[in-house]
Amino acid sequence: MAEQSSQQDKTQEPTQKKLQDSRKKGQVPRSRELNTMLVTFVGAGGLIFTTGSISESLHGIFLLNFQLPISHIMDKNYLIPHFTESAIAALFAVAPYLALMFVVALFGPMAIGGMSFSMKAMAFKMNRLSPLSGFKRMFGVKGLVELLKALLKVGLIASIVLSLLKVFTSEILNLGFESTQDSIVHSYRLILLIFTVSSAGLIVVALIDAPFQLWQHNKQLKMTLQEVKDEFKETEGNPENKGRLRNLQRELAQKRMMEGVPDADVIITNPTHFAVALKYDADMSNAPLVVAKGVDFVAEKIKEIALKHEVSVFCAPALARAVYYSTDIDKEIPYGLYISVAKVLAYVFQLKNARPGKYPEPPEEFEIPNELRID
């Protein structure tokens, strides 16, 4: 009952860490039915493309063996090497096809869940030898689902094969009256047709099983709210993760900050070490806002973006330092800097509306209170 209650409490989607840990343990979604479908479907396709070469090679081998003289058949010194050579020739005839099937069988399981190799999954576990655990697996929900899938697959394939055999009964019975070459080619085509249609029938089973396996895997990895909280505390307490998180937060904040530079009214610079981007909208705030600020490399980046978007850049070292140290991002400048910043904004607005040859004089004196002055 406690286990069932715990399972019911697992309502949270698995975290990225939980997914990574499960992959390290070799716990990834796999669909046997999808793999079976891929193997048989690709196998049928491979037979279609290799029909000519395989049937021709096998016809030559069969013809050679069917025409052996009685003296050779009775001579074991001749017969054994001869059959060995025939078997090797037959193997070489179907080798490309077998190689294709091997590749599909090897990589087919990765169709869902991707590539995963874990020594933990291969480790020996005593509970696998326990009859009780075996009965639980056989008669549990998963075991019943596997049984239903197997019955569905067998029933579907059997019905398809029996239907095809019924349709082609007369052709199959007439194979004995055909020549050796025609009989081999005809048989090959019938087998190919039955194989192809049967493999196409497996698509139905695979389309049911693959989504079910993904859903079941996700369900097994679901977490309780407490597990999510504990994992968060664990990862947050890791100095390496803390540093990585701080760097990520810093990068995201800087990216958001840079996105505000093109909308700024003016960039006030040091001119090399400091840069602050100001925006004033009387409908949105009572005073100009700092939309971006930075020193050294970040300051150069702000100026670069400003020039690219034709935002005015104004050099006022003392004012730039005062705004930088006194005002945070998305905050209004302090009252003591209203007049100085107003002079800069007025100059910028006049400059934008100036006629050619009649440009305003830039302000040179700025009143900065002692408590805001940074020398």
Q: Which two tokens stand for residue 367?
A: 């009143």
Each domain of the chain, given as residue ranges in start order, spans 24-118+126-228, 248-353
Q: Which tens digits make up the pLDDT trace of 68-95?
A: 677 666 667 777 777 777 788 778 777 8
| pLDDT for 3 | 46
pTM of the full structure:
0.46
| pLDDT for 72 | 65
Per-residue pLDDT at 134 exceeds 70:
no
Half-sphere exposure of 298 (CA within 13 A, CB side): 17
Element (H, E) at 167: helix 141-167
| pLDDT for 139 | 60
Per-residue pLDDT at 120 exceeds 60:
no
348 or 200, which is more confident?
348
62-68, long-range: CB within 8 Å, 24+ apart, which pairs?
Answer: 62/180, 62/184, 63/180, 63/181, 66/180
- Alpha-carbon distances, residue 85 vs 61, 65, 89, 92, 291 (angstroms): 10, 11, 6, 11, 83
Neighbours of 102 (CB within 10 A): 11
Asked whether 197 and 44 are in contact (CB, 8 A), the reply is: no
Per-residue pLDDT at 233 exceeds 80:
no
Per-residue pLDDT at 339 exceeds 70:
yes
255 band by pLDDT with thresholds 50, 70 and 90 = confident
Percent of the chain at pLDDT above 90?
1
Closest CA to 273 of 238, 301, 247, 297: 297
Q: Give me the residues paired with residue 276 across strands.
A: 268, 293
Is residue 313 classed as helix, strand or coil in its secondary structure?
strand
**Residue 106: CB partners within 8 Å, gap ≥ 6?**
none
Record: fold of 248-353: name from scop (3.40.1690)
| pLDDT for 240 | 67
